[in-house]
Structure formats: structure tokens, C-alpha cells
Amino acid sequence: LRVAARGEVQVGALTPPSPPGPEARTVTLALNLPQEAEGRQVRLVLVDDRGEHLVYEGEGRGGLRVSGTYEAVGEARFRLYMDGELVQEWTP
């Protein structure tokens, strides 16, 4: 909003402030790899609004416990892959 020299009001295109983005939060993982993970290539990732984040990658061992706390922004999902194939996906 600007006031002109003669007292006229001129309205310019105002851009409203963008809403704040989702805040980071902590998500917890506690997973025992299934027996069928034995001897297979295992990859576990966390997917959120920032992209994909590697949690674990290596040769699987049935019963191996993978746990920890991770920072996520927006919607978060864990994905478990074995030999490159998605076998499980869940939200914390």
C-alpha cells in the first residue's frame, strides 16, 4: 500500500508471506530383520520431505536389530529393501 502525492491510494501486488514449512521431529526405529534377510543385501531408508536417507545397508542377518532415533521433516516412512526389492514400508 502506497499513498500517492495527491492523496490517492495505490495498491501494489503484495505477496503474502509463505506459510512456515513442516518442522523437524524425531522418529524412532526398532526393527529385527526377518529371517529371510539372511545372506541377502539389505537396505533400510528413511524417506521424508527432504528426500531419502540411508539408515542401514549391508548383508542381512536374520534377527539383526536395527534401531535408533532419526530426524524427519514432514511425512516420514521407513522402507526395507532386500536384494533391491521393496519388501516392507511403514510410518513411524
Architecture of the CATH domain 23-90: Sandwich (2.60)
Domain boundaries, the chain: 23-90
Residues 16-38: pLDDT tens digits? Answer: 666 677 789 999 999 999 999 99
pLDDT digits (tens, 9 = 90+) for 27-85: 999 999 999 999 999 999 999 999 999 999 999 998 999 999 999 999 999 999 999 99
pTM of the model: 0.74
Q: How far apart are the first and last CA of the chain?
A: 47
Between the CA of residue 24 and those of 6, 30, 49, 51, 76, what are the distances in Å? Answer: 50, 20, 10, 13, 10
pLDDT at 34: 93
Q: Note the pLDDT of residue 75.
A: 94
Q: Is the pLDDT of residue 3 over 70?
A: no
